[in-house]
Structure 1
Amino acid sequence: MRNRTVPALVPAVMLALLTTGPVALPASAASADSAAPSASAVEDPLLAALKAIPGLTVVSESRPTGYRYFILNYTQPIDHRHPTKGTFQQRLSLLHRSTDAPVVLYTSGYGMSTNPSRTEPTRLLDGNQVTVEHRFFTPSRPSPANWRDLDIWQEASDEHRIVEALKTVYSGKWIQTGASKGGMTSVYHRRFYPADVDGVVAYVAPNDRVNPADRAYDDFFATVGDTACRTALKNVQIQALKRRDRLVPRLEAYAAENGYTFTKTLGTADRSFEMSVLDAPWAFWQYSTAADCADVPAATASDDEIYAWIDQVASFAFYTDQGLDYYTPYYYQAATQLGWPELKFAHLRGLLRYPGLYQANSSIPAELRSRHDPKPMLDVDHWVRKQSSRMLFIYGENDPWSAERFTPTRKDSYLYVTPGANHGANIAGLKEADRLAATATLRRWAGVTGAATTLRNAPSSVPDDDMLLTRRPS
Structure 2
Amino acid sequence: MKIYNLVFAFCLAFFNQVVAQHSDLETQLFDLPDVSFEKIDTPEGYQSAYVLKVKQPIDHSDASKGYFQQKVYLSHLSFDAPSVIITQGYTKAKNSIFELSDILKANQIDVEHRYFGDSSPENIDYDYLNLKQATADLHHIRELLGEIYKGKWVSTGVSKGGATTIFYRYFYPNDVTVSVPYVAPINNSFEDERIYKFFDTIGTAKCRNKIENFQKDILKHRKEVLPLLEFYSLGQNAHYTYVNDEQAFELSVLEYPFSFWQWGSDCDDIPSKNASIEDKVKHLIKVADVTFFSDEIMKKYASHYYQSAEEFGYYGYEIEDFKGMLKALPKDKNTHAAFTPDHMKVDFKGGELLTDIGEWLETEGNHFIYIYGGNDTWSATAVPKSDAVDSQWFVLKGKHHGNARIKNFTASERERFNKTIKDWLGISLN
SS at match of 1:318: helix
1:238 aligns with 2:212: no
State the match for 1:402 in structure 2.
379
SS at match of 1:416: strand
Deviations 1:304-353 (A, max 9, x none): 11111001111122210012221111111111111112343443222123
- TM (normalized to structure 2)? 0.89
Among 258, 261, 275, the alignment partner of 1:301 is: 275
Among 314, 317, 321, the alignment partner of 1:347 is: 321
- Structure number with larger C-alpha Rg: 2
| Residue 99 of structure 1, CA deviation | 0.8
State the match for 1:100 in structure 2.
80
- TM (normalized to structure 1)? 0.81
Among 145, 152, 174, the alignment partner of 2:131 is: 152
State the match for 2:167 in structure 1.
188
1:73 aligns with 2:49: no
State the match for 1:335 in structure 2.
309
For structure 2, which runs of at least 5 residues remain unmatched after alignment?
1-17
Mean Cα deviation higher: 347-356 or 128-137: 347-356
Q: Distance in 2 between matches of 1:391 and 1:92?
A: 24
For structure 1, which runs of at least 5 residues remain unmatched after alignment?
1-37, 454-474
Rate the CA distance shift 1:343–1:269 in 2: closer, same or farther, 3 A.
closer
Q: Distance in 1 between matches of 2:116 and 2:410?
A: 36
Among 316, 331, 341, the alignment partner of 1:364 is: 341
Could you say what the CA RMSD is over the residues aligned between the two structures, in angstroms? 2.0
State the match for 1:140 in structure 2.
119
Q: Distance in 2 between matches of 1:192 and 1:350?
A: 46
Assess if the C-alpha contact under 8 Å between 1:173 and 1:447 holds in 2.
Answer: no
Assess if the C-alpha contact under 8 Å between 1:332 and 1:369 holds in 2.
Answer: no
SS at match of 2:290: coil
State the match for 1:278 in structure 2.
254
Assess if the C-alpha contact under 8 Å between 1:417 and 1:430 holds in 2.
Answer: no
Among 324, 332, 355, the alignment partner of 1:378 is: 355
Identity %: 33
| Residue 441 of structure 1, CA deviation | 1.4
The count of aligned residue pairs is 406
Q: Distance in 1 between matches of 2:228 and 2:41?
A: 46
Rate the CA distance shift 1:83–1:403 in 2: closer, same or farther, 3 A.
same
Deviations 1:273-312 (A, max 9, x none): 11111111211111125xx211111122221111110011
Among 197, 201, 211, the alignment partner of 1:223 is: 201
The higher-RCO structure (CA 8 Å, 6+ apart) is 1
Rate the CA distance shift 1:177–1:337 in 2: closer, same or farther, 3 A.
same
Deviations 1:217-260 (A, max 9, x none): 22211222222221111111001111112212332343345442
Mean Cα deviation higher: 121-130 or 368-377: 368-377
Task: Tell me the amino acid that sits aligned with residue 354 of structure 2.
Answer: M
Q: Distance in 2 between matches of 1:260 and 1:63?
A: 36
Among 432, 449, 452, the alignment partner of 2:411 is: 432
Q: Distance in 2 between matches of 1:59 and 1:396?
A: 37
1:124 aligns with 2:100: no
Among 57, 81, 88, the alignment partner of 2:68 is: 88
State the match for 1:206 in structure 2.
185
Q: Distance in 1 between matches of 2:224 and 2:375?
A: 33
Q: Distance in 2 between matches of 1:383 and 1:233?
A: 37
Q: Distance in 2 between matches of 1:438 and 1:348?
A: 44
Q: Distance in 2 between matches of 1:408 and 1:194?
A: 19
Assess if the C-alpha contact under 8 Å between 2:264 and 2:375 holds in 1.
Answer: no
State the match for 1:11 in structure 2.
none
Deviations 1:441-469 (A, max 9, x none): 134333313xx23xxxxxxxxxxxxxxxx
Rate the CA distance shift 1:313–1:169 in 2: closer, same or farther, 3 A.
same
| Residue 64 of structure 1, CA deviation | 3.1
1:251 aligns with 2:229: yes
Mean Cα deviation higher: 313-322 or 270-279: 313-322
Assess if the C-alpha contact under 8 Å between 1:260 and 1:317 holds in 2.
Answer: yes
Deviations 1:397-431 (A, max 9, x none): 10000011113553321212101111131233334
